[in-house]
Amino acid sequence: MTFQALGLIEPLQRNLAALGYQQPTPVQQQAIPAVLAGRDLMAAAQTGTGKTAAFALPQLQRLLLEGVTAPKAVRTLVLVPTRELAEQVYQSFRSYGGNLPLKCAVAYGGVPIEGQISKLRKGLDVLVATPGRLLDLHDQAAISFELLQTLVLDEADRMLDLGFERDLDILLAAMPKQRQTLLFSATFSDAIRQLASGMLRDPVTIQVSASNTTTKTVRQWLIPTDKRSKPELLLHLLQKHRWGQVLIFVKTRKGVEALIKVLQEQGYTADAIHGDKTQPMRLRALDRFKRREVQLLVATDVAARGLDIEALPQVVNFDLPTVAEDYVHRIGRTGRAGMEGEAVSLVCADEVDLLRDIESLIGKVLPRSEEAGFEAEHRVPETGAKGAAIAAAKKAAAEAPRKKRAFTGPPGGRAAAQAQQGGKPAAAAKTGAGRSASPRTASSKPASAGTIVVSAGRGAKSLARAAGKAQAQSHPRRGKGSAR
């Protein structure tokens, strides 16, 4: 299959050849002819599948061949949930449409609105915008939807997650009913289906992979550990695997900053992306990471969606995401466009419930792999389809009086367990963040199916803590956390 066979004109084919795209991806093969034919689209496609080109290429072609814009008017409007994604989709339009006589611009909050108003004054062919800023522009009568030919909603599920539904309603009411609408979403949830039913006319439905599946080119596994050991474990993994560029996800802004400090103290170049950073700071951090000026990018889920970082081999979930879908989006940063990638999650006792949600969402059990010297004091139970019985048993155990709860592990506590394995107690794990990854004779070994159990006495307490949230929160070592 070639881009020519999909009906794309020569100037676009040339631009794609210059970018090194040899053949269309599955979502492009299905979407491009439908969009060129003017059909509405409902596409379940994750980041990394080539979805941006799937809507940008046929849009550019239609804009080039049909009509012209007028002052304040926009002919193709692409709505995206975040500023980072807006910037990235805009850059994609620029590179796919390089040399074409079309005017594209991007508009998002956090930067002055005046420049965006002045770009709109003469009219645009393509505007990529976040809903909030678009509403501001609309309120200020800086934009007209009169000539709007196509509306694209990119990452629509994320838009709903971020609470843009009301903004969308207002904006949709101001748009012409006669238009083409393309809806892209990582998942087809009930909320998305409802949104689609109100705005799409006889859409072509595309599903490039089963919803909520994680990309096959990403090798995923998890390392059970304790919360306080995570910084040391990460330093150890960086050293052991000699990873190059790594995108590291942390739950909170405070957590990101604390980890950056640890990494920098150890001589790593690291930058942060989270909600407290201004937009220029976030873009600069991403740019430096993309240009390989920094090795490590530490981010909250703000950065999880849409960031296009080519050929990224490694993602680390330092903390599991609180929303299971974000796991799919996070690991979508790697293994893109057919390349291989790895995603490793460091999982501690109070994340066992989150893990269960993730495994049941993706429909598979993540392989567990112990890291000697960093073993968890808790067990990470097998969940998902294979582990349904175990999950049910755990639930029953959680509901039973605590003293009756089963615990499997060698007698004699952590020290005995380590002695049994020929290891020493992990002194470093007790030092907490900020110490160097002491050289260890660490080895990674696959866990026996189902559970990983290291210690008895304290492990039993950890298991109890994992099952009881209230108890977990009162644990003195547990991080306080902060808003995302």
Residues of the shown chain interacting with ligand AMP in the complex, contacts defined by CB under 6 A: 21, 24-25, 28, 47-53, 308, 310, 336-337
User: 299 has which bridge partners?
Assistant: 249, 273
Residue 474: CB minimum distance to ligand AMP, A = 42
Are 220 and 343 in contact by the 8 Å Cβ rule? The answer is yes
Residue 192: CB minimum distance to ligand AMP, A = 18
Q: What is the C-alpha separation between 304 and 312, in angstroms, rounded?
A: 13
Dump strand ranges (E) for 74-142: 74-79, 104-107, 124-129
Please, which residue, 52 or 345, has the CB nearer to ligand AMP?
52
Residue with tokens 């755990």: 394
Please, which residue, 50 or 387, has the CB nearer to ligand AMP?
50
Residue 338: CB minimum distance to ligand AMP, A = 8
Q: What is the DSSP-derived secondary structure letter of residue 203?
A: P
Q: What is the C-alpha separation between 55 and 179, in angstroms, rounded?
A: 15
Largest CA distance in the chain: 78
Please, which residue, 72 or 336, has the CB nearer to ligand AMP?
336
Please, which residue, 13 or 482, has the CB nearer to ligand AMP?
13
Residue 291: CB minimum distance to ligand AMP, A = 15
The two structure tokens encoding residue 138? 């609309």
The two structure tokens encoding residue 367? 């392989």
Please, which residue, 89 or 296, has the CB nearer to ligand AMP?
89
The two structure tokens encoding residue 63? 């804009």
Q: What is the C-alpha separation between 468 and 474, in angstroms, rounded?
A: 10
Residue 263: CB minimum distance to ligand AMP, A = 26
Residue 410: CB minimum distance to ligand AMP, A = 47
Residue with tokens 């999909």: 6
Residue 80: CB minimum distance to ligand AMP, A = 11
Of 341, 363, 346, which is closest to residue 218 (Cα–Cα)? 341
- Helix, strand, coil share of the chain (percent; to 5): 40, 15, 45
Residue with tokens 């050991």: 229
Please, which residue, 309 or 416, has the CB nearer to ligand AMP?
309
Please, which residue, 52 or 418, has the CB nearer to ligand AMP?
52
